[in-house]
Structure 1
Amino acid sequence: MLIIDSEKCTACGICETSCAFGAISVEVDCAVVNESCTLCGACVENCPVGALRIETAEKRVRADINDYSGILVFAEYRHGKVAQVSYELLGIGRKLAEQRGTTLSAVLPGGAVASLAQDLIAAGADRVFLAEHPLLEQFREDVYAGILEQVIREQKPEVVLAGATAIGRSVIPYVANAIDAGLTADCTRLEIRESDGMLLQTRPSFGGNIMATIECPHTRPQMATVRPKVMAPAEPDPTRRGEVVVMQIPERLLQSKIEVLETVINTDDQVNIQEVEALVAGGRGLDSAKGFALIRELANELGGAVAASRAAVDAGWIPYPHQVGQTGKTVSPKLYIACGISGAVQHAVGMQSAEIVVAINKDKSAPIFDIATYGVVGDLYEVVPRLIQRLQEMKK
């Protein structure tokens, strides 16, 4: 954690201006750190009076680390089914487990989830820890975290994976703090280093301008949340066999500080750009919100949906649920048409898994052409209407 020595701090503000994550602010006469801190160390290096230091959870005995083995996936249950990201995690988890020569397990908490355990086995799990209880029907992060913590303490997996979703992002930091483990958030790539079995966790950093690969050499388990749609689920095998372990949940774990009064599903905007096969995305090159009428027309002809870059969302041209990129959603459609999008790494990290990428941009040197399957250099207001016309002609 980042420690600030209030006696040394002069409130000069250098740490605040040097932080790329907005994690430090100067209040009254001392700097204050918030939850956005990534422990990158930039503030420590720049502090002229040495008032900041990073204190690590050093260092567990190496023999203790060697006691851990296996890959564990937190299977997220919501709206009566297992979230798709959990199957994606089982896909990459299966590969990691085979590389390590170990087992792949999943923990599944919920109100009535026993019927879903075999689905997780078919997707790659060797063992499913089933935490079923009526009090688990509603998500409460302290209860879910307590159950996951119990499984980790008893089973000692070397790697724990969860989806970088609203649920995953609330449960996993809770558990990592409780067991004093390292955690990397929003990963887009996971690999095992063969020389020592270390999990290499890659995520966008510094506003998406670089891809950082992070290791947790001193603690176990190595914990990571992974963005939806960046990993491919394995083809399910209904004949696959595994073990279902029915957990005995202590009463104390079911006691929560949270009371759920009501669950309300937002029906204002039912856009789910992560579940369609064709996306047409608009960016800064549209010049105004009116340009999305053209984007939407092309999307309708393709039977797809409308997406957008952060620039278009920030400009107020289209709501946030359409945003693709590091600070938006990660998508992997069969077809992604980028109209007036430059293709900066912050956007590319959210759509580079698309099977076919078509780029339309006036700037022939735009980075989007480096990742595009097909590129059209031209004015999107000339190119897109011709595409629409051609699609309409083909349907006649």
Structure 2
Amino acid sequence: MKTLVWVEHDNKSVKDATLATVTAASKLGEVHLLVAGAGCADVGAEAAKIAGVGKVHVADDAAYEHALAENVAPLIVDLMGHHDAILFPATTTGKNVAPRVAALLDVMQISDILSVEGDDTFTRPIYAGNAIATVQSSDAKKVITVRTTAFDKAAAEGGSAEVETISGTGDTGLSSFVGAELAKSERPELTSAAIVVSGGRALGSGEKFTEVIEPLADKLGAAVGASRAAVDAGYVPNDYQVGQTGKIVAPEVYIAIGISGAIQHLAGMKDSKTIIAINKDEDAPIFQVADIGLVGDLFKVVPELTEKL
């Protein structure tokens, strides 16, 4: 069985989400990668070094610079003539392109897989992760998105895959890139950080969020996250949100401060290796999943913790 993996990149380097997707693909058979971008030769060379990869297809065309689904999907469909499955990381870009590929191939997409049980059988979360469904697909071509936190990352070095330059299908003219407003931070990226410090609605304001959460995160070299309630209240931007409708994270350490532990939030972080919860409500649901729980006033406890680090 030949599998194709969509390589997530910024036209300069491969993103970590790709490595976990390669691990998932390797459980299905021979792994090929697709690098589509503009001026992306270095990405192709880097991708060829990923352990376990047999071939890297590189499509270098201005039409693919911003990974617009309308342009990328026809390219992938062409390659699917020689592949049995295409896997995407379940990132913003992956979840944008995959459904269009599935529609063009007239197959059912298999979303957010947690494990590979066989060539046609997978597990995936449902009901915000409260149940795990085992699904089996009879489609000849599989279109799959991968929850990258559920798989170990493939080694970024050690491989020596063949790099093949392919011609693209070009610009379909269906959409155009207008612009992007990207949040910039010196802190680690939320989805790949080893430590995440998250704050909830209990912080009361954006000023208090900054005052309490960020110094602790800086001391720990951690990424900053937030509950949906904190985002909806306007304390922090949307890209901080952890949860079912936000980002899925599984760091080594997840520190939840002033977060009650609603199902929506737990769905995004309960696979973390160690969960530390600080909340003044001893009955808060977050304590049911926490490895370490501290009942106390976050406005006293957290500054004291930060000071002692």
Q: Which of the numbers 82, 95, 99 marks the counterpart of 2:14?
A: 82
Measure, in 2, the Cα distance between the counterparts of 1:370 and 1:312. 21
Measure, in 2, the Cα distance between the counterparts of 1:210 and 1:346. 10
Measured against aligned partners, the alpha-carbon deviations of 1:235-286 in whole angstroms (never above 9, x if no partner) come to: 2333x2333333244xxx2141246365444357787423444322112333
Tell me the residue number matched to 1:93.
25
Q: Which of the numbers 323, 331, 335 marks the counterpart of 2:241?
A: 323
Aligned partner letter, 1:190: S
Q: Could you tell me the percent identity over the aligned residues?
A: 30
**Structure 1 residue 325, shift from structure 2 partner:** 0.9
Tell me the residue number matched to 2:42.
115
SS at match of 1:215: strand
Residues 1:156 and 2:83 are matched in the alignment:
yes
**Structure 1 residue 116, shift from structure 2 partner:** 2.7
Measured against aligned partners, the alpha-carbon deviations of 1:130-158 in whole angstroms (never above 9, x if no partner) come to: 22234433433222101100111x2131x
Measure, in 1, the Cα distance between the counterparts of 2:103 and 2:41. 29
Aligned residues: 306
Task: Name stretches of at least 5 consecutive residues in structure 2 with no aligned partner.
Answer: none
Q: Which of the numbers 95, 108, 111 marks the counterpart of 1:182?
A: 108
Is the 2:113–2:122 Cα contact (8 Å) retained in structure 1?
no
Is the 2:129–2:267 Cα contact (8 Å) retained in structure 1?
no
Q: Which of the numbers 228, 244, 247 marks the counterpart of 2:163?
A: 244
Measure, in 2, the Cα distance between the counterparts of 1:365 and 1:189. 30
Measured against aligned partners, the alpha-carbon deviations of 1:3-61 in whole angstroms (never above 9, x if no partner) come to: xxxxxxxxxxxxxxxxxxxxxxxxxxxxxxxxxxxxxxxxxxxxxxxxxxxxxxxxxxx
Cα distance 1:363–1:319, how it changes in 2: closer, same or farther (>3 A)?
A: same
SS at match of 1:128: strand
Cα distance 1:77–1:384, how it changes in 2: closer, same or farther (>3 A)?
A: closer
Measure, in 2, the Cα distance between the counterparts of 1:142 and 1:257. 8
Is the 2:17–2:148 Cα contact (8 Å) retained in structure 1?
yes
Aligned partner letter, 1:313: V
SS at match of 1:80: coil
SS at match of 1:81: coil
Measure, in 2, the Cα distance between the counterparts of 1:314 and 1:255. 37
Tell me the residue number matched to 1:257.
173
**Structure 1 residue 327, shift from structure 2 partner:** 0.8
Measure, in 1, the Cα distance between the counterparts of 2:9 and 2:249. 21
**1:120-131 alignment runs, 5 A limit:** 120-123=47-50, 124-131=52-59
Measured against aligned partners, the alpha-carbon deviations of 1:155-206 in whole angstroms (never above 9, x if no partner) come to: 131x321122332222211110111111133x1512214xxx432141343x
SS at match of 2:267: helix
**Structure 1 residue 340, shift from structure 2 partner:** 1.8
Is the 1:92–1:233 Cα contact (8 Å) retained in structure 2?
no
Cα distance 1:192–1:254, how it changes in 2: closer, same or farther (>3 A)?
A: same
Measure, in 2, the Cα distance between the counterparts of 1:188 and 1:346. 18
**1:338-377 alignment runs, 5 A limit:** 338-377=256-295
SS at match of 1:168: helix
TM-score (norm 1): 0.69
Is the 1:358–1:373 Cα contact (8 Å) retained in structure 2?
yes
**Structure 1 residue 108, shift from structure 2 partner:** 1.6
SS at match of 2:53: coil
Measure, in 1, the Cα distance between the counterparts of 2:218 and 2:165. 47
Is the 2:7–2:33 Cα contact (8 Å) retained in structure 1?
yes
Q: Which of the numbers 101, 105, 116 marks the counterpart of 1:191?
A: 116
Tell me the residue number matched to 2:195.
278
SS at match of 1:144: helix
User: RMSD between aligned alpha carbons?
Assistant: 2.7
Aligned partner letter, 2:33: A
Query: Rg bigger for which structure?
Result: 1
SS at match of 1:219: coil
Aligned partner letter, 1:235: A
Cα distance 1:284–1:204, how it changes in 2: closer, same or farther (>3 A)?
A: farther
TM-score (norm 2): 0.86
Aligned partner letter, 2:104: A
